[in-house]
Amino acid sequence: MKIGIIGAGHVGLVTGACFADLGHQVMMVDDDRRKVAALRAGRVPFFEPGLEELVRRGMAHGRLRVTRAIPEAVDCSTLLFVCVGTPTRPNGEADLSAVETVTRRIARSMRAYRLVVEKSTVPVQTGAWMRRTLREMVRRGVDCDVASNPEFLREGCAIQDFLHPDRIVIGAESERARRLLVDLYTPFHAPLVVTDVSSAELLKHASNSFLALKISYINAVAQVCERVGADVVKVADGMGLDRRIGRAFLDAGVGWGGSCFSKDVAAFTRIATAHRCDASLLRAAAGINRRQRPYAVARLRRLLGPLRGRTVGVLGLAFKPDTDDLRDAPALDIVPKLRAAGARVRVFDPKAMPAAKKLLGRGVTFCRNAYEAARGADAVMLLTEWNEFKELDVTRMASLMRQPVVFDGRNLYDPAAMRRAGMRYAGIGRGQMQQTAHSTQHTEKAGKKR
């Protein structure tokens, strides 16, 4: 098929490169001159495993082309996927200006039938607006459709997620639109959910918000675990074996980050509120997530005492492993909080260092590896569970530190193995409160009551 992709960000570029690899003719559009130049030279402007190879292959075979001009893509493509950003406005609602601009530009260039597909995450009823706008603006006699085809890929494993999805959602109003998308996706051998446009739009917001709720739920459970000396990892393992619950997204930690969850929970809250529906569950999830970041610093303070004059090594800055994306990363809150409390901070991330230098700036030491970040530290704080941190030589780490203390903000390590290696270990919700002075008193009091 002939496919145009408007917006070469994480979703757009993965979509375009994968479709090209599957044999379709793809024209990518982005208005960022530098991004287009980089792509034409075979360079992907962000880190996503395997993507650069796919882009290069698509270009070498002539199936993937890049332009800055929307009309060029409209001319040569039957399907046009809109993959532009929908950031959050200060009031929480989604900023749809890029979607609106692209829709109008597509309308102005359309000379024959085109199916315009929203892939960007948009509030319900955006598709209806796009359809109205296109139909008002296109020249007489030209037919068009709007469909919704939300994307569920995760950064860091985006290609795998795109090519092997749990499900493909197609929201369409006409038989022609439905048929085009069903034909496009049939070779994926994934369950197809074929529905109307509004249900497809809502399904995406509801899915991301539910995953965010799961994370906040387990973080709330983790706090109880900490108070009573239980281990949240075991609790999550046990809960997850129930097929009605599932183990995924029950990893307690410093909370969610990234470009999607906070934005989508805020947008869904706005939509629910605007329709006078109860959004309290969504607000509670966002609140728990916000508080995880200062809570992590408070936990460290409980381990070390006042942070003034202490040195803290931070391992991991990206919002999750296998990406260099720092958008809404917990580290961007936690590192400045450590600095504000008077700590010296040494940081290392396998991929996000160049971007972090711009954002974290002065007063932070940027290190070449995890061991360098741990050198002379009073504690190491793990904020992103990169695989290479799993394999660290803990005894060597401990020997480099001023005090062998680890705060594991992602529950990556086995507490017993850490302690055997001589580390004082604290994770999230792993019963460790009992090791601190505060919790010893708490335990004694609880013991007396019993």
Catalytic center residues = 260
Among the listed residues 73, 250, 312, 423, the single contact to ligand UGA using CB under 6 A: 250
Token pair belonging to 93: 């609602």
Q: Binding mask 171-210 vs ligand UGA (x if CB under 6 A, - otherwise)?
A: -------------------------------------x--
Q: How far is CA 320 from the centre of its chain?
A: 7
Among the residue ranges 225-233, 249-257, 343-351, 393-401, the one whose residues contact ligand UGA (CB under 6 A): 249-257
| Dihedral class, residue 7 (left if φ above 0, else alpha if ψ from -120 to 50, else beta) | left
Q: Rule CB under 6 A: is residue 215 a binding residue for ligand UGA?
A: yes
Q: Nearer to ligand UGA by C-beta: 154 or 227? A: 154
Question: What phi and psi values does residue 332 have, to the nearest 5 degrees?
Answer: -70, -20
Among the listed residues 129, 152, 210, 371, the single contact to ligand UGA using CB under 6 A: 152
Q: How far is CA 2 from the centre of its chain?
A: 29
Q: Rule CB under 6 A: is residue 290 a binding residue for ligand UGA?
A: no
Q: How far is CA 361 from the centre of its chain?
A: 23
Q: Nearer to ligand UGA by C-beta: 138 or 162? A: 162
Rounded to whole angstroms, the Cα distance separating 155 from 1 reads: 26
Rounded to whole angstroms, the Cα distance separating 393 from 161 reads: 32
The number of helix segments (H) and strand segments (E) in the chain equals: 19, 14
Among the listed residues 145, 155, 349, 408, the single contact to ligand UGA using CB under 6 A: 155
CB of 97 to ligand UGA, least distance (A): 19
Token pair belonging to 54: 């796919």
Among the listed residues 56, 57, 154, 337, the single contact to ligand UGA using CB under 6 A: 154
Q: Rule CB under 6 A: is residue 47 a binding residue for ligand UGA?
A: no
Q: Rule CB under 6 A: is residue 389 a binding residue for ligand UGA?
A: no
Which residue type, as a one-letter code, is found at position 136? E
> For residue 137, with 0-12 CB atoms within 10 Å meaning exposed, 13-18 middle and 19 or more buried, which class applies?
middle
Q: Nearer to ligand UGA by C-beta: 216 or 432? A: 216
Rounded to whole angstroms, the Cα distance separating 390 from 381 reads: 13
Q: Nearer to ligand UGA by C-beta: 152 or 366? A: 152
CB of 216 to ligand UGA, least distance (A): 9
Question: What phi and psi values does residue 410 have, to the nearest 5 degrees?
Answer: -130, 10
Q: Nearer to ligand UGA by C-beta: 222 or 307? A: 222
List binders of ligand UGA among 256-275 (CB under 6 A). Answer: 256-258, 260-261
CB of 344 to ligand UGA, least distance (A): 26
Residue listed under structure tokens 């809109």: 82
Q: How far is CA 363 from the centre of its chain?
A: 27
Rounded to whole angstroms, the Cα distance separating 353 from 446 reads: 46
Among the residue ranges 101-109, 152-160, 166-174, 333-341, the one whose residues contact ligand UGA (CB under 6 A): 152-160
Q: Rule CB under 6 A: is residue 249 a binding residue for ligand UGA?
A: yes
Q: Rule CB under 6 A: is residue 320 a binding residue for ligand UGA?
A: yes
Among the listed residues 120, 121, 148, 262, the single contact to ligand UGA using CB under 6 A: 121
Among the residue ranges 148-156, 221-229, 271-279, 388-396, the one whose residues contact ligand UGA (CB under 6 A): 148-156
Among the listed residues 73, 94, 153, 412, the single contact to ligand UGA using CB under 6 A: 153
CB of 314 to ligand UGA, least distance (A): 15
Count the neighbouring beta carbons within 10 Å of the beta carbon of residue 301: 15
393: three-class secondary structure by DSSP: coil
Token pair belonging to 236: 């999550």
Q: Nearer to ligand UGA by C-beta: 209 or 439? A: 209
Number of residues lying near ligand UGA (CB under 6 A): 21
- Give all strands (DSSP E) within 252-372, no chain letters: 311-315, 344-348, 364-366
Report H helices in 316-414. 330-340, 353-360, 370-374, 387-390, 394-400
Token pair belonging to 437: 């002075």
Q: Nearer to ligand UGA by C-beta: 123 or 257? A: 257
Q: Nearer to ligand UGA by C-beta: 210 or 366? A: 210
CB of 341 to ligand UGA, least distance (A): 23
Among the listed residues 85, 127, 171, 253, the single contact to ligand UGA using CB under 6 A: 253
> For residue 436, with 0-12 CB atoms within 10 Å meaning exposed, 13-18 middle and 19 or more buried, which class applies?
middle
CB of 154 to ligand UGA, least distance (A): 4
Token pair belonging to 378: 């009073």
173: three-class secondary structure by DSSP: coil
- Name the residues that contact ligand UGA, by CB under 6 A: 121, 151-155, 208, 211, 215, 249-251, 253, 255-258, 260-261, 319-320
